[in-house]
Structure 1
Amino acid sequence: MPIRFDQPIWLALLLLLVPAILIAWRSRGGLSRAKVWTTLTLRTVLIATLALALAQPSWVRRGEGLTVTVLIDRSQSVPMALKTSALDFLTKAVEAKERREDRVAVVTIARDASITAMPDSYSAITVGADDGDPSATNLAAAVRLALAIMPNDTANRIVLASDGNETTDSVLAAAEIARANGVPIDVLPLEYEYPNEVLFERVVTPARAREGQTARVRMVLRSQTRTRGTVRLSMNGEPLDLNGAEPGDGLAVELDPGPNALEQMISLDASGPQRFEAVFVPDDPAADAIDRNNTAMSVTFVGGEGKVLLVADDVGSTQFLAAALRASGITVELRSPTTLDGGLVALSGYDSVILVNTARWSFDQEQDRMLHAYVHDLGGGLVMIGGNQSFGAGGWIDSEVAKTLPVDLNPPATRQMPAGALALIMHSCEMAQGNFWGQQVAQAAIDALSRLDYVGIIEFNWGAQDGFQGCRWAFPMQRLGDKTAALDSTKTMQVGDMPTFAPSMQLALQGLMNTTAAQRHTIIISDGDPQPPSTQLLKEFADKKVTVTTVMVGGHGTPLDRGRMQAVAEKTGGQFYNVKNPKQLPQIFIKEARIVSRSLIQDGETFQPQVVSQLPGPTQGFGSVPTIDGYVLTAKREGLANTAMVVPTSDGRDPLLASWNYGLGRTIAYTSDVSSLWGAAWASWERFQAFWEQAIRWSMRPSTPSNLHVNTRFEGDQAIVELEATDADASSLNFLNTSAIVLRPDHEPVEVTLQQTGPGLYRGQFDTDEAGAYLINIGYESTDGTATAQGNIQAAVTVPYPGEFRTVKHNAALLEALARDTGGRVLAGGDPALADLFDRTALEVPRSMKRMWDLLAMIAAALLVLDVAARRLSIDPTEAAAAARSAVSRRAAVGAGTLDAWKRTKSQSAERADPLAARSRFDADASDVPAVDVAAETSGGPATAGTSPRVGGRPETDAGPPEGDDGDGDYTSRLLAAKRRARGNDGEGAPDA
């Protein structure tokens, strides 16, 4: 039946039709036959329509098509040859589709599932250029995504091509949803096996140790067969000698099938995190198919004297500070930003990091996030020291590091100071992931500007209605303010392929010149293939002192295009960048955005700082300090920040030194510098060493007590962390408040709860589903709040390679169980046509429904109005026809009267043009024709005797029809009637006045 009723009980209302018809018939009275049948019909249809609407009918349509959603495993565990053959097989199997109404959808599988083709009759088997992170397999996510995109007007089937090795979630759990919806899952097993594979499972070292201690290093390997090879071990990148007097430093081994364990004793002679890396090299490379799983790593934290890392673009500018700290007994290591390696593990070996006049563009985004995590989650200290490339002048505004600082890098809102203006011309569409990188660089530039600066973003879009030759403002030139609107606009940019630079540059110049900025700058990102701007336009930029920086990225650009982009920068005073690695783009845009923030530097005179706080902290005991010759303008940060030193100016008191606790760490901001540039007086100050020793030691992370021990190990895909706590008498410390922060390889923090499992023992666990180092920071505190047991302790666990490389064989058993649970099939290779992907056997025929009750309800409402009208209104058909004819004739009479009036007006105009003719005509019988008061006649009042008509005049008013008139005549007819009555009274004398 094509109609289905959700509430069929309401159809019983149709029984009311019988009494309704009887009542209507008996009460017809003297009504005409036509009216009786009209009301009876309307009443019957109304009741029937209401009954049907209340029953909630739906139109049921039977689906004829079949949608096959193909899930393709693109993870690294599947050999490339199998991926290619699977694509070929599925492509040919889909091409065998016979019915036009059948559809195909495609979902690729990696760490996440992604759609490459929506359900469509024209879709083909395809994979995207970027299938996501292939280091993991989430089959369950792919099944859920397939169920989500399935149409409900066709039958549905899922085809999964995979090796069956999943690293995340459970596909069998997701299959329960498919089975509940009657969707079978066919599987195409991608079968392989590596019979000679060797896996380096782990390197086990102590989580923590003391400096000078000898540690046991245990290496565990698993081999499929008996294999010979060499094991090499390094610490912090330096190879360790494992074979004694034998040549080389590797250890020759013969591995038995199954697990194999090797042990070495290593002396730990340095403090900080010691990174161990072990590698197995087979004698026969053909005996080991996957080399990615031949490496394992481990980290041991070695306690010792505290040390700090001093980072500067110009290491020479740190000589005064480094010498003072070393003289105070603090171990100092000097590095430039370009030599920072080892990630967060290496950084965690320092108790404090000092950034001396270091620009934001010297760090990539990963390092920026790493420094934030180092302070907030690992409890490290951070000190930022000023200079002409530090704080806001160095592009640090709104960075991750800026969040940790006790000052606001934006200038004070009340400060009147020159602003800068920046125009961004976006043409990144030709590079890989152009929209993504366009968004990233625009956001980086916006973050580097202050709230007082101007910014505008220009995009190219042929369909733009409000632009100039396809170029339009994605974000019109305006002050940044809180930056929310500007950052939001970067997410909706449409980076089109512009044919020429001129329109966008003209638009940028116009926007920049409409600002009051002291410095105006433009950045163009492009592959260089648009036509270059004219020499006249470049001269206009130069004359108006608007600089242009060009950034060339990959695309269709040629060496000629490169020269043109370079010429644009040179002729306008900007810079040219030829970028090969897109990860460098945000740093470049931050550096260029800094050009419009030069006003943040306050120099050119000598300033006398004031100490305004003696609270416990880095400046306690220092009542006065020497003068400075410059500083970077910042604003006081509200909250718990302690601004101990300020620079008094006519505009207020600007922060010079501030400090606070941030997360688990401490940070200090000193807005002047420690070199001869601005700090010559400080370098010769007798208390210079004491001041900086106290400040740096305040920022350093406290040392870990020796009565706390941390152990880590793996149980499957989970890491176990255990804390053993004792007091000075070796008694267990119980009921501590413990918590742990785990920094994943992507620096995302995860909170882990440690529960007490025994006397002085606390245990927690967390997932390790990504390759890389997991940094653990355990905080502990006694329940009574005393400092006898309080602090932080660090550890780390390492996952050397993705779980994809732990598998040496397909998991066909899982795939077969998946097909069996959902009623699917196990497809075999061979002839793709025999696979019959569009088999309809045992598939549930879909039925789609379109509701009808709302339409019926509207019809019933209209019928109700007609029913009332038919019963209450009395309409005589004869009278209705006469009224219609009268209306038509009245409209015709009005038209005729209008024509007569036009003719008289024309005649009177002719008479005025020939007065003699008019006079002769009226004088012929002027004495015999009485005068008529036209106004009185037309108004129904008496005429005035002896009055003369106005020749060629018009009646002044039309107050209404004459008395006794039925009002059906028009104005002209009434006028003619008045003249006839006047002539009829000619022999009786004038009418009464």
Structure 2
Amino acid sequence: MFSVIEPAALWLLALAVPLLWLMWLGRADLRRRLGRVRLLVLLAVRLLLLVALVLALAGLQVGRPVQATATVFLLDASDSVSPAQRAAALAYIEQALATAEPDDRMGLIVFGARAVVERVAEPPRPISRLDALVVSSRTNIADAIQLGLAILPGAMHQRLVLLSDGGENEGDALVAARLAAARGVPVEVVSLVAERGPDALITALIAPATASAEQMIPLAVQIESNVTGSATVQLIVDGQLITEQPVELALGLNQVSLTTPAGAPGFRQFEVRLVAPFDTQPANNRAIAFTFVSGPPRVLLITVDPNRSAALAAAWRATGIEVTVQAPAQVTANPLNLRAFDAIALDNTPAESVSLALQRALTTYVRDLGGGLLLIGGTQAFGAGGWRRSLLEPIMPVALDPPLREERPDLALVLVIDRSGSMSAPVDGGRTQLDLAREAVYQASRGLSQRDQMAIIAFDSFADTLLPLQPLPDLFTIEDALSRLAAGGGTNIRSGVALAAETIAAANARIRHLILLTDGISETDYDDLIADLRARGVTVSTVAIGRDTDPALERAAQIGGGRYYLVQRADALPQIFLEETVRIANRDLIEEPFVPALALPAPWLRDLGPLPPLRGRNAADQRPIARALLVADDGAPLLATAQIGLGRALAWTSDLSGRWAAAWLAWPEFPRFAANLVAETLPLSGDDRLALDVSVLANRVEIDLIARDERGLPLEVGELRSRVSGVETSFDLVFSQVAPGRYRAVVTIDQMGAYLVQVSATDRTGQPLGNAKAGFAVSYSPEYSRFAANPALLAEIATLTGGQVDPPPTAIFAPTERAVYEVWPITLPLLWLALALLPIDVALRRLFVPWPELTSLSIQRPARRAIAPDAPAPPDPALPAKPARPLTDEERIAALLAAKRRRQRKD
């Protein structure tokens, strides 16, 4: 059998017609010169050369029939196929392999949710075990067929053998079967359907979409059973077991009614579980549902001083807001638990009291879960509270490094730390005084800005520079310097002060300050050094730890123009360093009376009327992502809000206690103002401009966001932020526009549970359009439903591809009805043939020897006669007489032309 790869190239054979015409009819001179026989031979050579080149270009192939068969087995390893059925399938494969010939090939693919190659197409050999691991909670026959087609070798009879129960619940097997039919590959099917054992399964859990916080929520559970018996229904709400109810199951459909209190406002997840002793398939004994519970907003108020925050909590409660007051150490660091609150307020709380885990949880709560965060100022908030370079700073609506003012200049700070042997004394929790000193240095650095300078000096019997004076370094540099702070030696305070004096003398700063920390009595006097520093404009503060410290420390602070701190509790040391840094920098607290001014015409602020005065605030600057609603007399933000991911954050840079806001606490509108602060952090309502439509098919979730303007026309969205949250997982969505005003995200979720999807959007100008949220539930896989097996699908696949249903194992490696050939390309031999014909063509056209001359080439030997040795040879009469003189060029050319004419006359 012959075949070509490029049939269109055969049209080039038509060039033989003009070739014949040119050589036979069009070139009479060629016929005369070559003669009839030579011309026919040349014509045959050229036609053969043309045919060889055209066939080489067309890719001529020679094929021979083959009888070898390649079979790929597709073995269903999903949970709907029992171990006994899978063992029977392996036995079937072994029987088929026993009939295979050595030239045959076999492959094995194991599939569940995805298909995996267990064995590529290779010579048949027994299967001892299965090593491939697949997700068994789904059945994807289409993936198995496509992968089987991919590994089938060519030039052989091809066959796929599908061993399954047909319970497809992912992919489209008929589409893959049509692909196999197009390739001429039959799919034989071996049914693994077995009898169902005793089984009771929950087919549905029905809950209302919304409920109020005061009501009881009704739940309807639908259970289908193929046997009768006793069972127990368990109700789990938000991960907690609430109740258990015994039931008597009848054959067919059973319905059980449950009720549970709605509980706190928010997203409630309900799960029911069926416990039946006779059940053989426990995977289908669960169902999930959800309800949105509405009610008054819930606020978590975090404060280090509940008495100072009592007025704010009372104002919120007066407006119907539920308030929970907790210290930072009492707050859970789990963002999913924080989601029970609509908003969280940090009231004048220093960063040092909020753990890194809680800061991280608060960031997730706002950015990913759509919560509201209120940051309320005071003497321990914002920059004064050490929040610079904290995990929470990036989501604050205000910047903590306000522009430089003349009255608040930059600072050079030198920390002189005692590292004598007594500093290794333990204080609490295994920490030493030196550990607290390291933390104090770290806290002091958080009171500095990028415009400040810092140095660290350590002393015992001698002094060393741990960190040379430099612009505020990053935390890694500070930690590296503090790592070299080790206890040992005496207490020579003078050496530390002297080295600090040399260091700070080179500082180019308007404020130069030194903080001395020690827990002992100095071996030398150092008052003269302190007095000299003060004379040069450097202030000195001293910090004494414990009761056995040097009494001269208080006098040194008086001489140095600073403050003296006696620390009885060592754990208060870090906060003292921060407060002293903030005090001396004089940049983070502005204690001057002012009346707030309206920056944006927010309706709720206009309705409050004239605003009372304030006596102080935290220095801050507005961030580009924020909106300032109220400003101070210098234009700095007093009340600012910002959209942070899915949530919102609010900053009030004054306090809400008696120090700065005494007039506000006595103001009749204060409860209303406080309630509106919470309202500013709640998700913006979409006002029907944004809507979510969620559809769930098995584990495939399709989420559509519909955006409409006030007239109901499609609205183009500028930026979308979205988050899907479940009990054990959360992730972002990626939306793509599928129609005007419609955006779609498609995800696959294999984890059973209830999920909350939240979306916030802005328009093309960056203005917020609002938020939308919806819930959906992913139930157990259809793999465990009563319709898990589907023999009809198997029969349709076999019919579509020309395969058989339950063929005998002996027929698996028999050749198919389709003729199969093994082909060899002969392009290279054709090219070699053309190359060999080319010199023959040239020889026939250029190399010419007349036949008469060939016969005259025989030499006649003349008769011998005696010739004297010295006698001259007689002239040959056949040769022309030798000229008496050499020929000229003209004579030579004339002789050649005459010889040419004689040759032509002979022809």
Q: TM-score, normalised by structure 2?
A: 0.53
Q: Corresponding residue for 2:879?
A: none
Q: Residue type matched to 1:106 in 2?
A: I
The residue aligned with 1:191 is 193
1:826 maps to 2:805? yes
CA separation in 1, counterparts of 2:615 and 2:401? 25
CA distance, structure 2, for counterparts of residue 612 and residue 94 of structure 1: 88
Structure 2: which amino acid aligns with 1:289?
T
Q: How does 1:636-655 map to 2 (within 5 A)?
A: 641-642=626-627
SS in structure 2 at match of 1:27: helix
**Residue equivalent to 1:181:** 183
- Structure 2 CA distance for aligned equivalents of residues 645 and 62 of structure 1: 89
Within the alignment, does 1:615 sit opposite 2:600 as a pair?
Answer: yes
* 1:668 maps to 2:669: no
Q: What SS class does the counterpart of residue 282 from structure 2 fall into?
A: coil
The Cα shift of 1:294 comes to 1.8
Number of the residue aligned with 2:82: 79
Question: Shift of residue 163 of structure 1?
Answer: 2.2
Q: Given the alignment, which residue of 794, 812, 815 partners 1:840?
A: 815
Is the contact between residue 164 and residue 189 of structure 1 (CA under 8 Å) also seen in structure 2? yes
Residue equivalent to 1:811:
790
Q: Gaps (5+ residues) in structure 1? A: 241-248, 413-516, 522-541, 546-601, 648-652, 724-732, 756-763, 782-786, 875-993
Q: Deviations over 1:103-128 (max 9, x none)?
A: 42525231x33444444458986755
Q: Say which of 100, 108, 111 aligns to 2:111.
A: 108
Residue type of the alignment partner of 2:290: V
Instruction: Using the TM superposition, give the Cα deviation of residue 266 of structure 1 relative to its aligned residue in structure 2, in angstroms.
Output: 4.2
Identity %: 26
Q: Is the 8 A contact 1:71 1:109 kept in 2?
A: no
The structural deviation recorded for 1:856 is 7.3
Q: Which residue in 2 is equivalent to 1:418?
A: none
Residue 2 in structure 1 maps to residue 2 in structure 2? yes
Distance in 1 of aligned mates of 2:761 and 2:623: 32
Question: What is the letter of the counterpart of residue 816 of structure 1?
Answer: A
Q: Is the 8 A contact 2:650 2:681 kept in 1?
A: no
1:152–1:848 CA contact under 8 A, matched in 2: no
Equivalent residue number for residue 304 of structure 1: 295
Instruction: Say whether residues 1:252 and 2:260 are aligned partners.
Output: no
The verdict on how the C-alpha distance between 1:172 and 1:91 changes in structure 2, with shifts beyond 3 A counting, is same
- Taking a change above 3 Å as real, the CA distance of residues 868 and 673 of structure 1, as seen in their structure-2 partners, is farther
**Which residue number in structure 1 is paired with residue 316 of structure 2?**
328
Question: Structure 1 residues 184 and 223 mapped into 2: Cα distance closer, same or farther (>3 Å)?
Answer: same
Match of 2:754 in 1: 773
Contact 2:60–2:827 (Cα < 8 Å) also in 1: yes
Answer whether contact 2:617 2:654 (CA < 8 A) is retained.
no
Give the 3 Å change call, closer, same or farther, for CA 148–26 of structure 1 in structure 2.
same
Instruction: Indicate which of 679, 687, 691 corresponds to 1:697.
Output: 679
CA-to-aligned-CA distance 1:69-111 (integer Å, 9 cap, x gap): 332323233334544554565467557643246242525231x
Question: Counterparts of 1:141 and 1:339 in 2: how far apart (Å)?
Answer: 45
Distance in 1 separating the partners of 2:210 and 2:664: 40
Q: CA offsets, 1:702-735, max 9 Å, x none?
A: 68999x9999999999999999xxxxxxxxx996
Partner of residue 457, structure 1: none
- Structure-2 separation of matches of 1:128 and 1:656: 66
Q: d(CA) in 1 for partners of 2:31 and 2:692?
A: 99
Give the partner amino acid of 1:607. R
1:261 and 2:236 are equivalent in the alignment: no
Shift, 1:13, TM fit: 2.5
Q: 8 Å contact 2:141–2:172 — kept in the other structure?
A: yes
Contact 2:642/2:650 (<8 A) preserved: no
**Aligned positions of 1:280-299 closer than 5 A:** 280-282=274-276, 285=277, 287-299=278-290
Structure 1 partner of 2:503: none
* Alpha carbons of structure 1 residues 51 and 410: separation in structure 2 relative to 1, 3 Å: farther
Decide which structure has the larger Cα Rg and report it.
Answer: 2
What secondary structure does 2:284 align onto?
A: coil
* Cα distance between partner residues in 2 of 1:51 and 1:58: 13
Equivalence for 1:14: 16
Which secondary structure state, in structure 2, belongs to the residue aligned with residue 104 of structure 1? strand
What TM-score, normalized to structure 1?
A: 0.49
- Candidates 369, 378, 381, aligned match of 1:374: 369
Cα distance in structure 1, aligned partners of 2:804 and 2:399: 63
Task: State the SS of the aligned residue for 2:79.
Answer: coil
Equivalents in 2 of 1:281, 1:228: separation in Å? 9
Alpha-carbon contact 2:219-2:258 (below 8 Å) kept: yes
Letter in 1 for 2:7: D
Q: Relative to 1, partners in 2 of residues 1:176 and 1:674: Cα closer, same or farther, differing over 3 Å?
A: farther
Gap regions ≥5 residues in structure 2 = 404-472, 478-482, 487-580, 591-595, 763-767, 849-907
Letter in 1 for 2:157: A
Deviation (angstroms), 1:186: 2.0
Give how far 1:288 is off.
0.5
Q: How does 1:54-93 map to 2 (within 5 A)?
A: 57-58=60-61, 65-83=68-86, 86-87=89-90, 90=93, 93=96
What CA deviation, in whole Å up to 9, does each residue of 1:207-233 have, x standing for no partner? 111222243322211111222222233
Distance change (3 Å), C-alpha of 1:394 and 1:820: farther
Q: Secondary structure at the match of 2:202?
A: strand
Distance 1:25 1:825, change over 3 A: same
1:220 to 218, 222, 240: 222
Q: Matches of 1:24 and 1:38 in 2, distance apart?
A: 15
- Equivalent residues, number: 630
Contact 2:217–2:260 (CA<8 Å) still a contact in 1?
Answer: yes
* Residue identity opposite 1:841 in structure 2: T
SS in 1 for 2:14: helix
2:280 & 2:139 partners in 1: Cα distance?
20
Q: Secondary structure at the match of 1:144?
A: helix
Q: In structure 2, the residue corresponding to 1:292 is in which secondary structure?
A: helix
Distance apart, 1:802 and its partner CA: 2.1
Structure 1, residues 950-985: CA drift from partner, whole Å, max 9, x if none? xxxxxxxxxxxxxxxxxxxxxxxxxxxxxxxxxxxx
Contact 1:387-1:673 within 8 A present in 2 as well: no
Does the Cα contact within 8 Å between 1:204 and 1:218 map onto a contact in 2?
A: yes
Contact 2:115–2:140, Cα closer than 8 Å, also in 1: yes
In structure 1, give the amino acid aligned to 2:786.
T
What is the Cα deviation at residue 198 of structure 1? 0.5
Equivalent AA in structure 2 for residue 75 of structure 1: S
Change (3 A) 1:332 1:162: farther
> Matched residues in 2 for 1:88 and 1:9: separation?
55
Describe the shift of the 1:737–1:819 C-alpha distance in structure 2 as closer, same or farther (beyond 3 A).
Answer: same
Once residues 697 and 806 of structure 1 are traced to their aligned partners in structure 2, the CA distance between those partners, rounded to angstroms, is 46
SS of 2:293 mapped into structure 1: strand
In 2: Cα distance, 1:743 partner to 1:36 partner: 86
Aligned-pair distance for 1:204?
Answer: 1.4
Taking the TM superposition and a 5 Å limit, the aligned residue runs for 1:140-539 are 140-237=142-239, 239-240=241-242, 250-282=244-276, 285=277, 287-308=278-299, 324-325=312-313, 327-329=315-317, 330-332=321-323, 350-352=341-343, 372-375=367-370, 380-381=371-372, 393=389
- SS of residue paired to 2:780: coil
1:140 Cα deviation after fit: 1.7
Q: What letter matches 2:177 in structure 1?
A: A
Q: Is the contact between residue 192 and residue 809 of structure 1 (CA under 8 Å) also seen in structure 2?
A: no
Is the 2:100–2:124 Cα contact (8 Å) retained in structure 1? Answer: no
How far does residue 185 in structure 1 lie from its aligned partner after superposition? Answer: 1.2
Contact 1:207 1:795 in 2 (8 A): no
Task: Tell me how far 1:175 sits from its aligned partner.
Answer: 1.2
